[in-house]
Structure 1
C-alpha cells in the first residue's frame, strides 16, 4: 500500500498506548500512530487533525466507552475504518460493535502476534476505503463531465438494461433520466434496426476491446422515431463504471436533410430525363458532372464513358476550336448560343444548337457550365 496510514489509538492505559504505537509502527512500515487517552480527546483530535485513516479503540473507558465513541465517530464520518480492540469483550459487545458500524472487532491477547493481526486488519480496512473513495471520486468526475455534454451518455449492464443516463436524455429522447433506469434499452430500438444494435452489443461482450459504432432509430417519448449514432465501449472492469458506456448523438436533422436532398436529386434527375433535348452540366475543367439520358441515347456513350470524355471526342474535329472559344466566353459570365456537330460513338455527326451558361453557387462562385442542345431538325 502506498501512502502513510494515520491511526488514532484510543485507550485510557498510558503503557498500552506506548506499546501499541511501538508494535504497530514496527509491523506496518506505513503506519503512524497518534494516541488519545479518552473518547473526548479522540473526538478533539479528529476535529483538529482533519486526517485520520483509522481509529483503534478500547471498549472499557471512563466517561465514554468504545461503542459510545463509535456512535459519535459515525456522526462525523460514516465510512472511517474503526477497530474495536478490547481486552474485556464478549459476543454481545462484538455484535453491538458491528451493528453500530465497526469495521473490525479484535480481542486483545497475550504476546505480540495480536499486533501483527491488528496491523493487517488496519491496512486492509484503509486500503478498501481508499479504493472506494477513489472509485467515488472517479465516478463523480466522469459524471460531472458527461452532465454538461449535449450528447447522450448511457451505461448499460450485461443484459442491455439502463444503469445510468445523462441529463441530455431529456433533450434527446424526451425522458427524465431516472425514468429509464432498469429499463431494457433494446426495446426502444426500431424493430428493423434491433438486430444491428444487439449484434454490436454482443461484439462488446465477446471482445472487451471492441468499440463498435452503429446507426439506428430509437423511439422518442412522443412516439416519434429519432435517428441516432452510437459508439460503445466495454467498461465492466472499470471500478467507477462496471458497465457498457454508450455515447450517442442525435442525427435526425442530418438524416432527414440527406433524405430531402436525395428526394430532390431524384426529382431533378427525373425532370432532366423527361427533357426531349440533350442536357449536361460540366465541371469547370470540362469533365462531365451530370447529364440526362437523352445525351446517352443520342451520343451512344455509357454513363461511365461520358464522365471521362474530352471535348475533342464528343465534337467534330472542325468544331472543337469554336466550342473551346465558347467555353472561355461562358467562363467570363456570358450565356452563348451556338451550333456545333456532336460526334457520336458510332462516328456519325449530329448538328445541335447549344445554349451554354455559367453555373454558380449561393456566393456567386463559378462551379460549372450547363447547357442544353436542341437537334436542328427538331428546332425546325
Structure 2
C-alpha cells in the first residue's frame, strides 16, 4: 500500500510555487504539495500542519534565506528531509547547505526534467527516513522485550564481538552490561570450553538457518565459574538487529543437581555390585530392567543380552510357570520368596532362592519387581 508524501515547498515566486506543485504531484503519484511564499509562512505551516515529510526550499528569499530555515528546522526536526532547490547555485552554498544538514542540493533548471529528478530525490529521502524510523521503532521494541527478560540476551557482530548485552547480566553474573560490549564474546568462556563456543559461532555464521546450542562455563564476577547454556540465531540480515542473537540461561543449579545425582547413582551401583548375591529389578512383565554385575557373572550373559531375555529364557522350562505365578502374586501386592533354577547362557542350571517385591511410583502404581537371588546347594 502506498503512503502519501507531504511536501512543503517554500519559494517567494508565486508562479514557481504553482508550477512546482503541479509538476511534483504529476511526477510522484504519492506526492502532495503545500506551498509557502516565505520562511515565516513555512514555519507557520510546520507548526499548524502537524506532519510534513519533506521540505523543498529556495535559497534567496526576502525575510530569511533557505539556510536560515534549514537551521531553524534542524533544532526540532533533525532528520526531516530538506532539499535546497535554488536558482542561485554555487559550490559555497552547496557546501554550507550540506554542512548544515541539508539532505539534497539541487539547482533549478529551465526544463521539466528537473522535476522528475526532484520528485525522485524526495521519494528516496522520505523512504530512507521512514525505513530508519521503522528500524528504530523495531529496535526499541526488541530492546524493551529483552530488558525485561530473566535470560541473558546478547547481540554479537560477525567477528564475534559483543554489540549489546542485556541488563540480566547483573543478576546472572554480577557484571554491568558495559563490561562485555566491544569485547570478544568467547573470550569470557572457560579455556577448556572455548573451542565448543567457537564451533557454535562458526556454524551460525556459515549457515544462517542454523540455531546451535552450546553448554560451557562462564566466569562470574566473584571469580567462580557458572554453567551456561546458549542458543544462537543469525540475524545479520535483519536491519533491526544486524547481528547474531544469543539467548543464554544459567544452568548451574541443574548441572550441579545432575552431577550429585550421578555421584549418588555411581555410589548406589557400586554398593549393589558389592553384594555377594544377585540383585535385580524387573519390569512388570518379568523382563530385565536393572541388575548388578553378579547376575551377569552368574548367567554368563552380557548387559546387552540380558535386556532382551524374558522369563522363559532366564529360568528352567519346568520352573517358568512357577515364576509367572509369582509375578502375578507380587502384582497383587504380595512379597514372595521362592526357589527356581536360573538357566545360564551355557545351558547349565543353577538353583537360587529368590525374593520378589513390588516396586511402585509415587502414586502407588506398579512399575516393576525387585529382589535378591541367593545361591543354594542343588541338593537343598
Q: TM-score, normalised by structure 2?
A: 0.92
Q: What does residue range 1-380 of structure 1 map to in structure 2 within 5 Å? A: 2-377=2-377
4+ residue runs of structure 1 moved beyond 6 angstroms?
none
Moved more, 260-269 or 248-257: 248-257
Gap change, CA 1:210 and 1:342, over 3 Å in 2: closer
TM-superposed CA distance for 1:211, in Å, is 3.0
CA displacement 1:46-76 (0-9 Å, x = unmatched): 2332221100112233333322222221222
Structure 1 stretches lacking a partner, 5+ long = none
TM-superposed CA distance for 1:217, in Å, is 2.1
What is the CA–CA distance in structure 1 between the aligned matches of 2:235 and 2:346, rounded to whole Å? 65
What is the CA–CA distance in structure 2 between the aligned matches of 1:182 and 1:235, rounded to whole Å? 18
CA displacement 1:93-132 (0-9 Å, x = unmatched): 4333222222122233433333233222212211221221
| Contact 2:284-2:327 at 8 Å conserved across structures | no
Moved more, 203-212 or 71-80: 203-212
Number of residue pairs matched by the alignment: 379
What is the CA–CA distance in structure 2 between the aligned matches of 1:195 and 1:214, rounded to whole Å? 11
What is the CA–CA distance in structure 2 between the aligned matches of 1:113 and 1:340, rounded to whole Å? 106
Structure 2 stretches lacking a partner, 5+ long = none
What is the CA–CA distance in structure 2 between the aligned matches of 1:257 and 1:191, rounded to whole Å? 23
TM-superposed CA distance for 1:325, in Å, is 2.1
